[in-house]
Amino acid sequence: MASLARVILDFQSGELSRDEFVAQLDSALATEQLGPTRLLETLYAAHHRSPLPDDLYLEVRRRIELLRVSNVAAGGEETGIQTSVDLPSLRSSSAASAGAASTAGSAAHETIKGIGDTLNNRFVLEECLGVGGMGTVYKALDLRKLEASDRKPYLAIKVLNVQFRGNPNSLVALQREARKAQVLAHRNIITVYDFDRDGPIVYLTMEYLSGKPLSQLLRTPGYQGMPVRAALPIVRGMCAALAYAHERGFVHCDFKPANVFLTTNAEVKVIDFGIARVFQRPEEESDATVFDPGSLGALTPAYASPEMIEHREPDPRDDIYALGCITYELLTGHHPFDRLSATQARNADFKPQRPANLDARQWRALRAALSFDRNTRIPSVVRFIAEFDNEARAEKSGTLAWVGLAGLAVVCAVTVGVFAFRSGSSRQQAAQTEAARSQGDQVDRAAGASAVAPATNVAQTTPAPASKPALTLAAITPTLAQVPCSALSGAVQDHALTVRGFLSQRYGAAHLKETLAALPGVDTVSLDVRPLADDKCDFVKTLAPFLVRNWQAGRVASLQMRPPSGFLTENDSLVVDLKAPPFDSFATVDYYQLDGHVVHMVPSRQWPDNQMQANGGPYTIGSNAGDWTVSKPFGSEMVVLMVTPVPLFDKLRPESEARAVYLRALETRLKQIGGQYGQDHLLADFAPITTKPATR
């Protein structure tokens, strides 16, 4: 029977219709052995890789939460997999059961809030408006306003997702979001009122407006773009909101059509600054380093800049990339890179086509906004709109003129509010934008003057051909390091280059070979690489430098599977052999699972001793008696060895934990150890395995 992750993937890829998805959902939930908590994590991860329709997402979540309630009511516990003391499973039942005990205890007292329920005896949840990075948004009736005969008794409420409720930082997350919103008081940004809680339910109250998200407009059947004149008011509204946030040191970090709202009062609102990051942190905000709600959120790959996907520090130009994608989609009806992520499009050398309705200057601005490199991306939102908006500003430039939109149906209302426009503010905004355009013209003229400056002292004779440059490892290492989702080690001999390691399956061996063959001094290229799927990019990005260092040194520390092929069948024992480097060290062996979790094999309760003597080994971990056995989900997974001069962590970590949580802790600890003991004593090795179900 298919797992929940597989059923969702089949639906997202088009293999299952909506009815087929619903039909298979209950059977998938009934046969899964992960428990409600892990099922919710699976749903959340799948939804943020490729969002499900809101109603389907909420329905799947509701059914999973009902599983938890019925399980607890029956006196049951959440379990990851059936196992025994003598035969611990690779799916970490003990860890899951331990977590389930506490979860069950709290779940017995926890009610599931949804449509028709009331928060704090005041807010009645009447309608689901959408699902965001941190929570679900509802239209709510404020009973106090109703009693006071307020003409506008409705507001919007964001209820924190269930997987965040147990996080001790969840209230901090909403408090920070409310504080950000108070700083970002602008007519093109939604107004947030306050945060509160009702027992375990943490929520945020904000203004409610009628209208529709831009994403709904873009999904209108037959939509093929709109004229520039009609699009400009929307683009201006988006730019005004982002420019205001950037001026105050905030980057939205999840800017996308679903977070741009078009109100029935002809306004543009940017919503959901829930994972906004501070890129210019004043002293009074220094406590923000303690907790960043962005760590709870998630980006949207189709609109995230390459730098966001690569987890670089936030920058206003991240929002500019998303702004470029949305503007392009608004004008043409399709995404500039066919909804590929920025890194995928960059690796495929994808070039967006110029929309037919743009003049040269507008296309230059839009193309610069879509650059895959921050350094060549247009530097500010103000500069972008100054270059892109080629019309004279009307006095009320912020008011959205619904040109060409009158026939579009408003299907639902989503969280946004109505602000009265101030003509003075509109005039000021127009003046600022015009000034920015003038500044841009000066920059362009200066650049043009530089470009046409005559060259002098040009030699009139043709120089003799230069000798072929020597090929060095230092020359090719930067190129290898820039290949995404890869860990590549090079070796040179004369003008022959050999590359070993792990290569992004999406990037491809042919692309890598072509790139390397173009380097100066390279005559031949030989590749000995294993393909890596996208689901492994997160930990490969963290660990690649340590694997490359190890392999460049001759793979002095190694991890070997039994059998060496790495092909294993359900119920097979997982056994690995470790070889120590030429210094005393400590080994950490982790199993990166398909479901997004990491099982800690060494050190663990089964194998607490992880110290290795210099050049020692092989050290055999596991046994044919079955310290770990293979179980579902099946597919391509990875076992990773990390070698450190001191224990990686001071105490044992949970037997199994979410990959994202572990990687954050791992990155922090590796930086600490590297700074104290030097990077040369931090080494890694990978061992891919392929698992399959037993033949019945």
Of 191, 262, 275, 257, the residue nearest 233 (C-alpha): 262
Label residue 542 by pLDDT band (50, 70, 90). Answer: very high
Count of beta carbons in the 10 Å neighbourhood of residue 155: 20
Q: Pick the more confident residue, 259 or 96.
A: 259
288 in Cβ contact with 176 (< 8 Å): yes
Q: What percent of the chain has pLDDT over 90?
A: 36
Strands 496-504 and 524-532: parallel
Partners of residue 526 on adjacent β-strands: 498
Distances (CA, A) of 288 to 173, 174, 273, 283: 10, 13, 15, 10
Give the dihedral sign, CA 576/582/587/589: negative
pLDDT, residue 567, reads 92
Q: Torsion angle of alpha carbons 511, 514, 690, 6, nearest 10°?
A: 0
pLDDT of residue 293 exceeding 60, the answer is: no
Mean pLDDT to the nearest integer, 325-335: 96
Q: What pLDDT is attached to residue 336? A: 96
| 234 within 8 A of 217, measured Cβ to Cβ | no
Could you say which DSSP state residue 626 is in? Answer: T
Catalytic residue (one of 254, 272, 595, 685): 254
Which of 162-171, 309-318, 641-650 is modeled with the greatest confidence? 641-650
Per-residue pLDDT at 48: 66
| pLDDT tens digits for range 377-426 | 999 999 999 999 977 344 434 444 443 333 333 333 333 332 232 333 34
Single-letter residue type at 353: Q
The reply to whether CATH 2.40.440.10 applies to domain 533-692 is no
H-helix segments, 504-638: 509-517, 537-552
**In this predicted structure, what is the pLDDT of residue 275?**
55
- Which of 390, 353, 366 shows the shortest CA–CA distance to 232? 390
pLDDT-derived band of residue 491, with 50, 70 and 90 as boundaries? very high
Per-residue confidence (pLDDT) for residue 163, from 0 to 100 = 54
Helix axes 18-31 and 4-12, enclosed angle (nearest 10): 170
590 CB burial (10 A radius; 0-12, 13-18, 19+): buried
Question: Which contiguous run of DSSP H or E holds residue 568?
Answer: strand 567-569
User: Does the pLDDT of residue 14 top 90, yes or no?
Assistant: no
What letter represents residue 13's amino acid?
Answer: S
pLDDT band at 306, cuts 50/70/90? very high
Query: Which residue type, as a one-letter code, is found at position 261?
Result: F
Cα–Cα distance, 32 to 42 (Å, whole number): 11
pLDDT interval class at 451 (50, 70, 90): very low
DSSP summary character for residue 629: B
| pLDDT score recorded for residue 449 | 37
- As a dihedral over the C-alpha atoms of residue 312, residue 315, residue 318, residue 321, rounded to 10 degrees, the angle is -130
- How far is it, in rounded angstroms, from Cα 20 to Cα 3? 14
How large is the average pLDDT for residues 428-450?
Answer: 41
Strand-pair category, 567-569 with 683-692: parallel
How does the average pLDDT of the chain come out, rounded? 77
Answer yes or no: is pLDDT of 191 > 70: yes
Euclidean distance between CA atoms 604 and 589, whole angstroms: 9
Q: Tell me, what's the pLDDT at 192?
A: 80
Of the candidates 21, 54, 28, the residue with the CA atom closest to the CA atom of residue 42: 28
Q: Which pLDDT belongs to residue 268?
A: 94
Listed in sequence order, the residues at least 6 apart from 635 whose beta carbon sits closer than 8 Å to its beta carbon are 594, 690, 691
Q: Tell me the pairing of strands 154-160 and 135-142.
A: antiparallel
Structural domain spans, the chain: 4-107, 118-206, 213-279+299-446, 533-692
Closest to 586 measured CA to CA, from 600, 603, 605: 603
What is the distance between the alpha carbons of residues 637 and 593, in angstroms, rounded to a whole number?
Answer: 6
Question: How many helices (H) and strands (E) are present in the chain, helices listed first?
Answer: 20, 24
Residue-wise pLDDT tens digits, 170-186:
566 556 666 666 667 88
Architecture of domain 118-206: 2-Layer Sandwich (3.30)
What pLDDT is recorded for position 280? 52
Please tell me the predicted confidence (pLDDT) of residue 181: 62
- 254 noted as active-site residue: yes
Q: Which CATH superfamily is domain 213-279+299-446 in?
A: Transferase(Phosphotransferase) domain 1 (1.10.510.10)
* pLDDT band at 278; cut points 50, 70, 90: low
- Give yes or no on whether 118-206 and 533-692 have one common fold: no
For residue 518, the model assigns a pLDDT of 84
pLDDT of residue 170: 55
Q: Which of 207, 209, 189, 315 has the alpha carbon at shortest distance from 264?
A: 209
CB 99 within 8 A of CB 77: no
Name residue, tokens 């009122």: 193
State pLDDT tens for residues 65-111. 666 544 434 433 332 222 222 323 333 333 333 333 333 333 333 44
168 falls in which pLDDT band (50, 70, 90)? low
Q: Three-class SS string for 360-394?
A: HHHHHHHHHHCCCCCCCCCCCHHHHHHHHCCCCCC
Element (H, E) at 340: none
CA–CA gap between residue 377 and residue 369 (Å, rounded): 5
Query: What angle is formed at CA 299 by the lines to CA 296 and CA 305, rounded to 5 degrees?
Result: 140
